[in-house]
Amino acid sequence: MELILDEGKGRVLGSHVVMRGSAFGLRLFVDEIVATRTPPITKSWKTVAERLIVIGAYTLGFTITGNGTESKLTVWIDYNLPRRGRFWGLIGGKAYAHWCVRQIADAPLERFGST
């Protein structure tokens, strides 16, 4: 997948993140915007255009809560089945959504480790 960032580099509210490429001979495309952002507490992305195989439009995000000594990361995704090929969404949508959530949830562990 090719990643294309606007001048906000996906780090400011309203910034666009575009991903395009192909899988299994099918062209894939997603344009998402940063829908919410309150560093370092929460951030979410929402599709504004998409051509995907196993999920359709989505909102993906995270929230961090803490008490000063511990932090809790909550990652979530809300998605629709794809407009075309709903069969593939029923077969692989849940697994792909889980993979997306794991990518965000595992990033802090890779960066900071776990206790």
| CATH assignment at residue 7 | 3.30.530
Q: What is the pLDDT of residue 115?
A: 57
The structure tokens 């803490």 sit at: 66
SS3 content of the chain, % helix, strand, coil (to 5): 25, 45, 30
Q: pLDDT tens across 95-112, in order?
A: 999 999 999 999 888 887
Q: What is the pLDDT of residue 101?
A: 95
Would you state the structure tokens that stand for residue 21, as one six-digit string? 């490429």
Q: pLDDT tens across 10-63, in order?
A: 999 999 999 999 988 889 999 999 999 999 899 999 999 999 989 999 999 999
pLDDT at 84 over 90: no
Return d(Cα 31, Cα 71) in angstroms, integer: 31
| Number of structural domains the chain divides into | 1
The whole domain housing 35 covers 2-112
